[in-house]
Amino acid sequence: MTKRVAIFASGGGSNMRALVADMTAAADHPAQPAVVLSNNADAGCIAWAKGQGIATVVVDHRPYGGDRAAFEAAMMQGLAPHAPDIICLAGFMRKLTAGFTDAWAGRMINIHPSLLPKYKGLHTHARALEAGDAHHGCTVHEVTAALDDGPILGQAQIDVAPGDTAATLAARVLVLEHRLYPAVLRRFAAGDRTPINLQG
């Protein structure tokens, strides 16, 4: 049966768009977009999803202050009517508690703009440059309680060129993100966790 996918995003949602485009392009895709959830009502991802006729849920994290569990309970409540089987984090910039990640263990994946285990967290492109790395890229992994951790499902790699800046690296990695994430989701939704490796 086709897996129902909830996509979580906080910003423009270019990865969300790549996932939706792939899921909706082929009749034989093992997954379908069920809902887009954001913590930001003004995020481009929400406007785009609405324009596509995809269900949206907004849960603003700010009223919850530091109470992440209450924020997550509200997200779960918002998700429930859409009955997702899989969550794809696609630029969702809120940390999740173990309560949430445990509830979705084996059913939630994330894309991160570095070759994990390098550069968990923020400013990944600048950190790769500062380290003088010859290669950089992105990773899709299963989400566990530890930030940007969990079994790796795929990586895409580029060469760092002389003259690269954090901005040029980010732009080139993003192009690869849009290839890698749909390819991984397609396998993952079919129950295949064999890692994918792409070169830019």
Binding-site ranges for ligand GAR (CB under 6 A): 9, 11-15, 90-91, 111-113, 138, 148, 174, 177
Q: Which of 46, 53, 34, 51 is nearest to 9 (CA)?
A: 46
Q: Among residues 13 and 77, whose Cβ is nearest to ligand GAR?
A: 13
Q: Among residues 1 and 186, whose Cβ is nearest to ligand GAR?
A: 186
* Least distance from ligand GAR to the Cβ atom of residue 92, Å: 7
The alpha carbon torsion through 92, 94, 99, 105 (nearest 10 deg) reads 20
Report CA-CA distances (Å) from 144 to 10, 104, 113, 126: 19, 9, 17, 25
Q: Which residue is nearest to ligand GAR (CB)?
A: 91
Cross-strand bridge partners of residue 58: 38
Which member of 61, 112, 125, 178 is catalytic?
112
Q: Among residues 23 and 111, whose Cβ is nearest to ligand GAR?
A: 111
CB atoms within 10 A of CB 45: 27
Residues 26 and 143: their CA atoms lie apart, in Å, by 27
Q: Is 136 among the residues known to form the active site?
A: no
Active-site amino acid positions: 112
